[in-house]
Structure formats: structure tokens, C-alpha cells
Structure 1
Amino acid sequence: MSKVLLIGASGTIGQAVHANLGARHDVITVGRSSGTHQADLARPASLAALFAAVGKVDAIVSTAGNVHFGPLAEMTAEQFHIGLQDKLLGQVQLALLGQRYLNDGGSITLISGILSTEPIRNGASATAVNAAIEGFVTAAAIELPRGLRINAVSPTVLTESMGTYAPFFPGFEPVPAARAALAYQRSVEGAQTGRVYRVNA
């Protein structure tokens, strides 16, 4: 049974990923304020402490990351910085640190999102952050040693989140979180690297 470190385990996708992978793997749950361990993507020291506590793992999975949504005309650099510091740099830091704690042949799976290729109003920050994550994954894949792999999952808006996000995604067909979890399963249990698994309707 593989040891999987799941960041963002209490979120909508995180719970679906836990349900999927937990049937076959030993899943260690991590959240900002819940889970077996606590860590915050925006605080690099907390990630370092997390790995020091957990030790070697076979897979690192991220379903977390905050970005700012708002009109470009009113957006400040500080607001744009939220996504850069949290979802982008937080996940990059997770990968940079995590590679040292992965067993040979292990994998890293990050999360981006459909806005990397399908921009919406009020989503300039999210589009930039998601596209950067996908660029990082494709580049990191050619350098990782010891058979390590890295992929990203890029889901569209979730069925479970439409109550909150429907006004931002007019005309988008949502998918259930369980569909996104299948892409995480492909990444963790498959053999591919440098891939962006796009989960669309």
C-alpha cells in the first residue's frame, strides 16, 4: 500500500480524492486547520515542518490553492499576489521540497484549473496562476530524478460548487468532484509525467 500525502483534504475535490485513493492507499490528510497534519501553502515554513513530520511518501497530491476573483479595472497588485503566493508558489514550494521526500518512482500531482485555457470575466489572476502551474509541471517533468513524476489536474467548475460559482461561469457545464478525482488516480497510479489532465464535461 502506497503512502499518499493529500494537501487540501477537507475541500470538495480533496474529499473526493480521499474517497478514491483511500480505498487502495494509506492517505495522510493535510489542511490549513484540519486533517492529520496542518500546513498552509502560503507559509513555506509550514510545508517544511510538514515533511519533517511525515517523512518519506510515495505520492504528493495537492487539491488546494487560493486565488483572487475580481474586476481587472479594480484589481490591486496585492490582490493579484494572493494567487501567486498561495496557489502558484505554494504548490511550487510543495514540489521543490517534496521531491526530496518522495520514494523512487514517486509522483507529485498539482491542481490548476480550466481558466488556464478558458478565461472568464473577473478571472485574470486565476488564469495567470493556473497557466503558470501548468508550465511549471511540463518543465519540471524533464528534470526530476529517480523516476519521479509530476502532473497537474485541471478541472472545470464543479457540480458541488455551482451554488457559489455559477455566476462566474456562464454556460460552463460542471462536473462532479468524483470525475476530478479520477484524474488524480491516473496521475498517482499511472506512468505518465509532465501531463495536464483536463477534466471537462
Structure 2
Amino acid sequence: MKIVLIGGSGTIGSHVYRAFSKDHEVILANRRSPDFPVDIAKKESIEALFKKTGQVDAVICIAGEAKWADFDDLNESDFYIGIKSKMMGQVNLVKIAKEFLNPSGSITLTTGILGERPVPKTTSAALVNGAIHSFVLAFKQDYPEGPRVNVVAPGLVEDSYEKYKDYFPGHIPVPMVKVVEGYKRSVLSSARGELIRIYEP
């Protein structure tokens, strides 16, 4: 398969890249890539990426940002960071990338546990995560037989546990192998319109 992986240089993305690149051609795209640069917050950047890659079998997005802060400290522009990047960035990605997908191709988006189990200082992040969950479920209604679009929602992963554990008291860290399997399920199975939760209910 020919797979475009957006944001594959972070904690989760690097594991996903290693897993898929063993058996597939993986095009690694991110803001710092000299060959396939992309900023999902900019629609024209996404368009330029796929004009360069051409037809693909799958797209995986592990990118997007949102501001963490107490609600009273967030202004409207702070919320628009996540809305423009994490939310509309992934929505625009689907709108553009689906035109470059081969038959039975898939697009995998990424959110996280905050969409259903937010913690303090995450009103902005929780908002955009929940929006993407709803978007994926609704997209299936418009395209019951078209492009497969799923979303993987990891919990606090083991590799980031020490860094973020104080924000997630009582959360059980998720093994990276389990997270990777979630992405494999989205890309390699016939899953369509699924919210793939990688955390304890």
C-alpha cells in the first residue's frame, strides 16, 4: 500500500511509521519535511501535498494542536487554534484527500481520550476532539460506500506517561503496541465510520 502519514515524527506517529513502513510505502509528511511539507491548518498546504503524492491507498493523520488552559484564561482566538488546526485541519484533510484515494482507500484521523473524558484545562481540546468524533460518524451517512474514514482516540500512552501523568490522575497508561493496532484496524480492516477508542472505558 501507498500510505501518507501526516505528523509521523511525534511519540505516537513514530511508532505508527515504524509499524507500517515494514510492509508498505509510507510517505512521511509534516511541517518540517523537506520533501513533503504540510500544515493541516492551511487548506492550500494540504492541496499541495496531495498534488505531489498523487493517488494513495491510505492517509493517516496524527497532527493538529489545541491550547490547554483554564477556561477563564482562554479567549476566542485561543479556541480558534484548535478549531483551525485539530478540527478543520482534519475536516479539510478528508475533503481534499478523498479525491486522491484509490478504491477502498481509507483516511484515519486522530483525537484522544479528551473527547469523552476531559481533564482540567482541556475545554478547548475536548471541544475539537468531540467535534471530530461526531464528524466521522456523520461522514459515514453521506458516504456509506465511499471512502472509509475512521478516528483513533488514544488515551494517555506509556511513552508519555511521566510527562503528562499529573494531568491524568487515575488513568491507566496505554501500551504503544495497542495504539499501533488501533491504526492497523482502521487502515487494514474494512472499518468505516468507527471511533476506535484506545483507553479503558
Smaller-chain TM-score bracket: over 0.9
Q: Which residue of 2 aligns with 1:181?
A: 180
From the superposition, tell whether residues 165 and 35 of structure 1 become closer, same or farther in structure 2 (CA, over 3 Å): farther
**Does the 8 Å contact 1:17/1:184 carry over to 2?**
yes
From the superposition, tell whether residues 98 and 35 of structure 1 become closer, same or farther in structure 2 (CA, over 3 Å): same
Q: Distance in 1 between matches of 2:32 and 2:177?
A: 23
CA positional deviation for 1:36: 4.1
Q: Which residue of 1 aligns with 2:12?
A: 13
After TM superposition, the structure 1 = structure 2 runs for residues 73-92 of structure 1, keeping only pairs within 5 Å, are 73-92=72-91
CA positional deviation for 1:35: 6.5
Q: Distance in 1 between matches of 2:35 and 2:189?
A: 26
1:62 alignment partner AA: C
1:141 alignment partner AA: K
CA positional deviation for 1:144: 2.7
1:23 alignment partner AA: K
After TM superposition, the structure 1 = structure 2 runs for residues 35-184 of structure 1, keeping only pairs within 5 Å, are 36-144=35-143, 147-184=146-183
Q: Which runs of 5+ in 1 are unaligned?
A: none
Over 3 Å off, 4+ runs: none
Q: Distance in 1 between matches of 2:75 and 2:26?
A: 38
**Aligned positions, number:** 200
Q: Distance in 1 between matches of 2:9 and 2:198?
A: 20
From the superposition, tell whether residues 3 and 76 of structure 1 become closer, same or farther in structure 2 (CA, over 3 Å): same
CA RMSD between the two structures? 1.4
Structure 2 counterpart SS, 1:185: helix
- Further displaced range: 13-22 or 86-95: 13-22
Structure 1 counterpart SS, 2:125: helix
TM-score w.r.t. length of structure 2: 0.95
Q: Distance in 2 between matches of 1:84 and 1:93?
A: 12
Q: Distance in 1 between matches of 2:67 and 2:121?
A: 9
**Does the 8 Å contact 1:13/1:178 carry over to 2?**
no
Q: Which runs of 5+ in 2 are unaligned?
A: none
1:42 alignment partner AA: A
**Does the 8 Å contact 1:17/1:178 carry over to 2?**
no
- Provide Cα deviations, 1:108-157, integer angstroms capped at 9, x if missing partner: 00001101110111011111111100111111122237642110000001
1:61 alignment partner AA: I
Structure 2 counterpart SS, 1:142: helix
Q: Distance in 2 between matches of 1:73 and 1:147?
A: 42
Q: Distance in 2 between matches of 1:92 and 1:5?
A: 16
CA positional deviation for 1:44: 1.2
Structure 2 counterpart SS, 1:141: helix
**Does the 8 Å contact 1:9/1:35 carry over to 2?**
no
Identical amino acids, percent of aligned pairs: 38
Confirm or deny that 1:22 pairs with 2:21.
yes
Q: Which residue of 2 aligns with 1:31?
A: 30
- Further displaced range: 48-57 or 159-168: 159-168
Q: Distance in 2 between matches of 1:34 and 1:163?
A: 28
